[in-house]
Structure 1
Amino acid sequence: MESVLIAERAMPIIDQKNKQLFIITLNARTNEIEKETKRKRVEKVIKTLG
């Protein structure tokens, strides 16, 4: 799923204004990720932003 890479690359431009929406969106899509390694990468992005 390319959204993992997009999430990682988007981190530098996520600001306070859109951070919460981005985290909510990532959380909603986490269940759709089949590979454990990709899911962990998204969880790391969420943790870093949170």
Structure 2
Amino acid sequence: MTATYHDVESGDTKEVSTGTGEPEFKIVFKYPNYDEAKAAVAARAKAVKSG
């Protein structure tokens, strides 16, 4: 599971991911900061695992 966010300090778009293997799911929405992106990845991974 991967999500992107905007890093204010560097001005770059960065990625947060969890888990390994295939298939890799990517959240299309770009989050405003690392914490929100990380929370979204964790929530989505939990939802996918629970079915």
Class of the TM-score when normalised by the shorter of the 2 chains: 0.3 to 0.5
- Choose between structure 1 and 2 for higher RCO, CA contacts under 8 A separated by at least 6 residues: 1
- Structure number with the higher helix fraction is 1
Task: Flag the structure with larger Rg.
Answer: 2
Q: By percentage of residues, which structure has more strand?
A: 2
TM-score, structure 2 as length reference: 0.35
Question: What TM-score, normalized by structure 1, do the two folds share?
Answer: 0.35
